[in-house]
A and B are shown apart, each in its own frame.
Chain A
Amino acid sequence: DLAGPKVYGGNHTVTLIPGDGIGQETADSVKAIFKEARVPVTWEQFDVSGFTTGEDNLMKQALESLRRNKVGLKGILYTPVRQGHSSFNVAMRKELDIYASVATCKNIEGLESRHTGVDITIIRENTEGEYSGLEHQSFPGVVESLKIITRAKTERIARYAFDYALRNNRKKVTCVHKANIMKLADGLFLETCRRISQEYKETGIEFNDMIVDNTAMQMVNRPQQFDVMVMPNLYGSIVSNIGAGLIGGPGIGSRHVGKDIQGRNTANPTALILSSVSMLRHLMLDNYADMIENAVRKTIAEGTVRTPDMGGSNTTTDFTEAVMKNL
């Protein structure tokens, strides 16, 4: 994707995968806002589900579209807990080598949370680690699971973390690990991050490391101490969810399907809208990005229109319309 997105006549074509659960509703919200703001984006939509398997035609088309457009917006795909079914999310990441998952946890004015001054970016290695999907049962009732850590992929994610810090004027990168127990795997991850941090010494970006269990405790005790954080796959999932819980919950910035509230027009579309804002910045459409982000923050700060997860009783449509008005 670093080669640049495809632009024809000033218009960007973006792959849209609304996903499961509240996916369609929240995607509708983004589409409406983009239309109102006259964002130069054309959607190529694929209604893939978490139940779609790798062999499915729809999935192949969606992947081709992503390869062609190089940029996509996606809701959450349900990950079935079932044997013999490869997760669509994981397959998509592997096919397109999507190696970094970037989650931002930042306080939103108007949304009460226990901690203020939180501004954390969690960078999670997304293609290996505990999610390699390599397990075997060599004896009935005894399962062995392989966690893969490679120098090459760790270097890549570490460099991404430091480049991200540089580009976004951040001051510190913290490596989260459990190298005291997983001496080879997490040891390799930690050593590699340390080595890469030396390459960025001149930039003045600080580097430190923390063991994952202590990190969990520190996140709820004093989250303000964290800036950019880099870590392997599983810890990334845990830490980003802790972070999301800190600043106000799933509607704002985390990754859950919301099957229980699907179809009821009660979902909070903020997470997907802010993701689309990140996408606009990636497309270098910062004016539109700012316009939409400001409209969302204004709506939340005003506090008059709130979906149930924010303690209110407004609908997804109410919220969308409020944002459109604030554009």
Chain B
Amino acid sequence: EYPNVRFDDVLLDRACLQIVQDPSKYAHTVMVMPNLYGDILSDLGAGLIGGLGLTPSGNIGRDASIFESVHGSAPDIAGQNKANPSALLLSSVMMLRHMRLAKEADAIEEALLDTISKGKEFRTGDLGGSASTTSFTDAIIKTLLTTS
């Protein structure tokens, strides 16, 4: 029914091996799978890109779609302006794409990734940096304003 989209399949254990050896094999690929395998592979993927602190997720439903970060609630650093908002921000970017606001989504995602790549003073503690939640957010906003 979708002749313009290529389709193939792979056994789960082979996929796990390949993703760990060379995840670029699955770049530009959408992977669809049953519940348990998705649970495991998505955590595997998160581990490969730096952990749950950077991983966005979307829960698509018939009646509503909810986008969420999947890291823990981190009570030990709550209320101290230390948290890394990237996971939630990237989830909101997914949400914007879902709402067909791709331009805004791209702009925010680019600004976020750009800020992280700038260096240690721009990153929050979990990424080995010294920024606070607010300074990190301000840096992203600054980039957004200069590029828009």
| Chain A residues packing against B (C-beta within 8 Å) | 178, 212-214, 216-221, 234, 237-238, 240-242, 244-246, 249-250, 254, 256
Pairwise interchain contact A245-B43, C-beta atoms closer than 8 A:
no
* With known contacts A213-B40, A245-B21, A238–B47 Cβ distance under 8 A: no
Task: State the Cβ distance, A196 to closest chain B Cβ, in Å.
Answer: 25
Q: Are A217 and B14 in contact (CB under 8 A)?
A: no
Residue pair B44, A242 in contact (C-beta under 8 Å): yes
* Contact B43–A178 (Cβ < 8 Å): no
B51: CB under 8 A from chain A? yes
Q: Assuming the A-B contacts A178-B36, A216-B43, are A245 and B17 also in contact, with contact meaning beta carbons closer than 8 angstroms in the complex?
A: yes
Interface of A (DSSP majority class) = helix
Which residues from A are CB-within-8-Å of B39?
178, 212-213
A218 to B44, CA, bound (A): 8
> Chain A contacts of B96 at CB under 8 A?
none
Chain A residues within an 8 Å CB radius of B102: none
Cβ-defined contact, A220 with B48, below 8 A: yes
Across the interface, which residues of B come within 8 angstroms of A241, CB to CB? 13-14, 16-17, 20
**CB–CB A212/B44 < 8 A:** no
Contact B46 A217 (CB under 8 A): yes
Q: Are B12 and A238 in contact (CB under 8 A)?
A: yes
Beyond the given A237-B12, A241-B20, please list 6 additional residue pairs across the A-B interface where CB-CB is below 8 A. A217-B52, A218-B47, A238-B40, A241-B13, A242-B16, A246-B20
B116 at the interface (CB under 8 A from A): no
Q: Which residues of A contact B48 (CB under 8 A)?
A: 220
CA distance A213 to B44 in the complex (A): 7
Contact yes or no, A214 B44, CB < 8 A: no
Q: Compute how far the CA of A218 lies from the CA of B40 in the bound complex, rounded to whole angstroms.
A: 11
Residues B15-74 near A (CB distance < 8 A):
16-21, 36, 39-44, 46-48, 51-52
Complexed CA–CA distance, A250 and B19 (Å):
12
Q: Which residues of B contact A250 (CB under 8 A)?
A: 17
Q: Looking at the assembled complex, report how far the CB atom of A136 sits from the nearest CB atom of chain B, in whole angstroms.
A: 17
Nearest CB of chain B from residue A216's CB, rounded to whole Å: 4
Provide the bound-state CA to CA distance between A220 and B13, in Å. 15
On whether the beta carbons of B13 and A237 are closer than 8 Å, the reply is yes
A323 CB, min distance to chain B CBs, angstroms: 24
Q: Given A238-B13, A241-B16, A256-B14, A217 and B21 touching (CB < 8 A)?
A: no
Can you list 5 contacts pairing A with B, beta carbon distance less than 8 Å? Answer: A213-B40, A217-B52, A241-B13, A242-B20, A256-B14
